[in-house]
A and B are shown apart, each in its own frame.
Chain A
Amino acid sequence: MASNSSGSDSSDRQRIAQQRLSVIAGHLQRPVEGNSGILAAECKAQGDKLDVSSERRTVPRRRQEIMKWNGWGYSDSKFLYNKKGQAEFTGKRYRLSGMIIPGLREWMESTFSANLQHKTPAAPILNSSAVQPPTLNEAFLKELKSTGIPFSHDAEDRVFRSHGHCLHEIFALREGKIGRVPDLVVWPNCHNDVVKIVELACKHNVCLIPYGGGTSVSSALECPPEETRSIVSLDTSQMNRILWIDEKNLTAHVEAGIVGQDLERLLNESGYCTGHEPDSMEFSSLGGWVATRASGMKKNIYGNIEDLVVHIKMVTPRGVIEKSCQGPRMSTGPDVHHFIMGSEGTLGVVTEVTMKIRPMPEYQKYGSVVFPNFEMGVACLREVARQRCAPASIRLMDNEQFKFGHALKPQVSSIFTSFLDGLKKFYITKFKGFDPNRLCVATLLFEGDREKVLQHEKQVYDIAAKFGGLAAGEDNGQRGYMLTFVIAYLRDLGMDYYVIGESFETSMPWDRVLDICRNVKARIVRECKDKGVQFPPLSTCRVTQTYDAGACVYFYFAFNYRGLSDPVHVYEQVEHAAREEILANGGSLSHHHGVGKLRKEWMRESISSVGMGMLKSVKDYVDPNNIFGNRNLL
């Protein structure tokens, strides 16, 4: 990635843009339209609109052309053990693609007691006959046809939009089990298409479930089994244009279906960025970010979604909600944007968003710091936050994750590099006396103009030194961030060998960070034991965001389920217990994943009965017939 570039001429900028994006994703042409089951029709409004962006888009209507139906990400990218029994990452899209990862096998075997002999392969293809035939609302369908908006009731299309990426969702798909799926998929092309669809849905009492990038981890996309109406999945993926860029005000007006990588790439072409980079940014959409109150890795510079959004347009059963101007801040009663942000598709569909943009940073630099233990690391992050000098991103991994990161080092070609690695290790553990079973590492990403970055870097390393931190090189830092994008692929590998797991997040005040990390990890271990898990689980965490008054923490939890009759149920019980532990210790229900249906049961205690009443009354006013019936949140 762009770690050592400087200068600000446009060709250089372009180069940075391309480098960065090559990590994140490959580029695919828009697929040819008019497949079976799909009625092709262009949005009438499109011609009138100004589309500043080029035509290349990542997500086609038929997602199955490039993506897995029962796992994470692109079909061509996955971990596997090759004939020699070495771990390998396939494809060409990522930095790790095509590489051998020598340490992974041993790590998996020792961490989970997993064994390559014990495989649990997934069902190879989607069996369409296992999918319930669609319940179609004929009157709705007839009128929909007349609008010319493309739709499909093909089994594959429907199954793709019936789930997010919770463990239980993926596990069921791998076993070929398919529950309630949407009866119809529609692909609006623009705001007006959405208006028409919502009108028709209201008229014919059809249930609408908005679908953006499908990366939900809160069961938000699951069709409520009790829903008897026809369920229509409203896929916004084709609403993916940047409609205009306003360089005077540094804003961009964008259709909400655009996925993160396309948005960044297209803005980069004009020399801008939003700086919003959630871990899911390859696939998650702008509308989804708004609907779940998303958070990006570089929020320290650019802010979270609520800081980035200037204007939102949302189509509801009551009509379109939007503000009349683009003032940067208003005192006009409670901010109606905050009814929209976090509404999780229960009130309507976000169609267009005006977002802040920034000139692309001139210079980026990764870094890492090793601490003798997690406590020192947290103390350092706290001090960095106190001095308000957090870099674009600062993350602290615990010891287990540090080891995991090491296991994912690709094979090094030069003897010199491995020699250097050995030397570093010797210096840290022997010379500095760090206990390899306690030390932990913080990864850093600095952004800005070169001079300031270097100055900033020094400031942060000086603080780290006060907490016993040793600078551990750019390489470690960069690898840490790269892992963010491949870790989701790794779960699929685990699932091939009896290992299931997932991550979940929370936020808490600074003084509780250590207590929550310790107690939740311990709770996971204890619950696994109590629930009959035969092998010790992986229970690890990292601090991923710092704020003035607290931090965001991610937990990763996985175990070998050999010997369990209902592993998913066990998994869910443990995650449930872990969430109870978080709440009991003063952590939040969610920092940015949202509530969905998975965490609904804790909403009342989280926001009080009056709070629930407020949300409920908004829902009752905006959508009295529960057209947006995904039943998230409330």
Chain B
Amino acid sequence: MKPVVDPMLKKRDDFEDMLEERRNSSDLRYALKCYTPVLYKGLTPCKVSELKQMVLQSDQLGYVITQVSKEKGVTSDEVTGEAAAILEEMAQRLQLSTVRFFAFTLSKVFKTLFRSICINEEGLQRLQQAIHNHPVVLLPSHRSYMDFLLMSYILYTYDLALPVIAAGMDFMGMKVVGEMLRMSGAFFIRRSFGGDKLYWAVFSEYVKIMLKNGYAPVEFFLEGTRSRTAKSLTPKLGLLNIVMDPFLKGEVFDISLVPVSISYERTLEEALYARELLGVPKPKESTSGLFKARKILSEDYGSIHVYFGQPVSVRSLAESRVNRSQFNLIPRHIPTRPSEEILSFVNDSAYRLVRAQEENMVLKPWVLLAFVLLQKQAAEEKQGTALDELTEQAVWLRDLSRQYGAFLHWPDHIPPSEVVSSSLSLHRGLVRISEGRVQLALEQGLLYPGFVILSCASYRNQALNVFIRPALLASAIHTAASNRKQEIYNSFSFLRNMFSNEFILCPGATVQDFEEACYLLVKTGTLQINQQEVLITERGHRTLAFLTSVLDPFLQGYQVREMHTQRHSVVFNTNGLTEKQFIPAVRKFIIKHLLTGSLLKCRLRYTEVLSSDLQKNALAALIRLGAVQKIKGYVGFTHLHVHVGLIG
């Protein structure tokens, strides 16, 4: 077993505010500056059109074209034409002039919206080195539409090679903007192309050729889409698989994967996300919609922190993990389904990278306040919390989270009370302060409090990764029948398994996670652990109570889901529900019970359970655990006798 690394020892770089220079010098001159980035040492420069030719003439694509033309009984010229059209629709047309235009406009916009954009410059130096040595893949976290514009903006500012970015086809709907994005390096992929061999071949070859030749760093979002809850999403493997392939097949010596953590003090899409989670459908991306959104320009969104993490070498990830000689016996241009070994390797790597993103995500004091305020709200403290008490709890949480390795930006030179009040004022839309007492700004009506709570929860969620392992352990201790280590481990393992759709928990790392949680709780004096038993120390109770409450809303969410499914299995015994019908049905069910106040014997305290994200994850978990069966798109209850007591 690997020794647990003390999170307190994590070294992180310092930040510099890149907007400061923008505020002091001409934006126009900046947009027109001389731009000479360091390029990949093995680069053979080529034009956008040559790149397309290389894709169309590649052995890989040629093979698939022949195959498809045989299957469909059309000439290979026709299929090639089709491939060329796909490529045309997909390909980027990176143009420095467009980038310069963005550099100018974004400077103006950013200066209005944000107080600062802080970057770790050492990370950029590492990135520059990485770009010189090997093909680079940039993997930013995804919380906002802003992310990829921001990334290119930073790289342009620091004279680094501009990336090509995998973007969802939905952007193409915005005609002008879509083309502008294309010219700033975006290439567009259809959201789903399941069985389309040709599309897949064009797409994967396009990405691989750009990567292998060192044409530009390739950028994409591991999470696949913006996280509406600010929790990291379970990583998508398709693109990661594609970019690792050239290394696994020996076509390049190594590839550097660079996780980038972008944290927003206030997310631009704050309101939008909450609405979506409550079931108000996502507005379609359109240029006019973008202009309507300009009212956000008048608000203060605090600061952004962007942390460029340590480049991860695919070679070292694969060392003693993957037997590369498995590709020796089939020509490499013939597409093959990745082996189990490769899939699990890519999956584990993806989790590692998402964790690396999480670890370098800067947390603001408000995140901790959100924790406290949500817990108070759930405890139904109607009058709110006194400012002093809020400050005291926030400081306590600050110290705790630091001990757990959180990357917390808490200005230590300012008195805590001021830190708290300035955070509250930035998020004044979500809180109400009266007579020195603070509470969430819940008005009447059901959806509106839901909206505030979900917004607030999305801030709290930013810090969940810091607490998740200790919290799982705390809940395990809470529910285990005895304090025997083995028994606690068993409940830990059960909880962890249940929540593996909800949080980033690397598959197969239960033992490591358990060890890590034990290590943290022992180190902070919460627990004492000997050979057989786990004992709670005198001063450990407060921490444990807090940690247990971290998971409460989620536990309750899963429980509701389960109860709902049970009910339905009685009502719709034979038919079941389609998956699409399911979530609205659950929502209705919850609202009913929130209004009536009780459900079976257990009271529903968390409005958060309304979140469609939570419900989707819960359903996925129940299906995975075999409690619910999915039959041809229908959902039906099988039989559930898992730790019902535990959840209660």
Contact = CB atoms under 8 A, between A and B. Distances in A.
Contacts of A583: 325
Interface string B418-450: 000000000000000000000000000000000
B253 A584 contact: no
Contacts of B331: 511
A511 B251 CA distance: 10
B325 A586 contact: yes
Contacts of A601: none
B336 interface: no
Contacts of A512: 250
B398 to A, nearest CB: 41
A511 B329 CA distance: 12
B328 interface: yes
Nearest to A375: B44
Contacts of B327: 586
Contacts of B250: 512, 515-516, 519, 584-586
Given A519-B250, A522-B253, 7 more contacts: A511-B331, A522-B254, A584-B323, A585-B250, A586-B327, A586-B328, A605-B325
Interface residues of B, number: 11
A586 B330 CA distance: 10
B539 interface: no
A253 interface: no
A82 to B, nearest CB: 40
A466 interface: no
Interface in B299-327: 323-325, 327
Interface string B275-300: 00000000000000000000000000
Contact of B251 (A515, A584, A605): A515
Contacts of A119: none
B197 to A, nearest CB: 22
B332 interface: yes
A591 interface: no
9 closest residue pairs by CB, A with B: A584-B324, A585-B250, A586-B328, A522-B253, A515-B250, A519-B253, A584-B325, A515-B251, A583-B325
Nearest to B324: A584
Contacts of A519: 250, 253
Contacts of A458: none
Nearest to B326: A584
A544 B323 CA distance: 28
Interface string B8-36: 00000000000000000000000000000
24 contacts: A511-B331, A511-B332, A512-B250, A515-B250, A515-B251, A516-B250, A518-B253, A519-B250, A519-B253, A522-B253, A522-B254, A523-B253, A583-B325, A584-B250, A584-B323, A584-B324, A584-B325, A585-B250, A585-B324, A586-B250, A586-B325, A586-B327, A586-B328, A605-B325
Interface string A567-598: 00000000000000001111000000000000
Nearest to B250: A585
The A contact surface, by secondary structure, is: helix
Interface in A502-538: 511-512, 515-516, 518-519, 522-523
A163 B115 CA distance: 73
Nearest to A520: B253
The B contact surface, by secondary structure, is: loop
Interface string B318-359: 000001110110011000000000000000000000000000
Contacts of B325: 583-584, 586, 605
A612 B332 CA distance: 28
A516 B324 CA distance: 13
Interface string B237-273: 0000000000000110110000000000000000000
Contacts of A523: 253
A605 B323 CA distance: 11
A377 to B, nearest CB: 16
A246 B232 CA distance: 80
Determine which residue in B250, B254, B324 has the highest number of CB atoms from chain A within 10 A of its CB, and name it: B250
A585 B331 CA distance: 12
B117 to A, nearest CB: 36
B318 to A, nearest CB: 9
Contacts of A584: 250, 323-325
Interface string A364-401: 00000000000000000000000000000000000000
A523 B327 CA distance: 19
A523 B325 CA distance: 16
Contacts of B324: 584-585
Contacts of B253: 518-519, 522-523
A568 to B, nearest CB: 24
A101 to B, nearest CB: 32
Contacts of B323: 584
Nearest to B332: A511
B381 to A, nearest CB: 58
Contacts of A585: 250, 324
Determine which residue in A512, A583, A584 has the highest number of CB atoms from chain B within 10 A of its CB, and name it: A584
A511 B328 CA distance: 11
B248 to A, nearest CB: 9
Contacts of A516: 250
Contacts of A605: 325
B193 to A, nearest CB: 28
B329 to A, nearest CB: 8
A583 B328 CA distance: 9
Contacts of B251: 515
Nearest to B328: A586
B120 to A, nearest CB: 26
Nearest to A516: B250
A515 B324 CA distance: 13
A528 to B, nearest CB: 14
A516 B253 CA distance: 9
A519 B325 CA distance: 14
A516 B327 CA distance: 13
Contacts of B254: 522
Contacts of A515: 250-251
A605 B254 CA distance: 24
A611 to B, nearest CB: 15
Nearest to A525: B253
B133 to A, nearest CB: 10
A169 to B, nearest CB: 29
B42 to A, nearest CB: 8
Nearest to A584: B324
A583 B250 CA distance: 11
Contacts of A518: 253
A67 to B, nearest CB: 40
A359 B331 CA distance: 41
A111 B253 CA distance: 23
Nearest to A515: B250
Interface string A268-287: 00000000000000000000
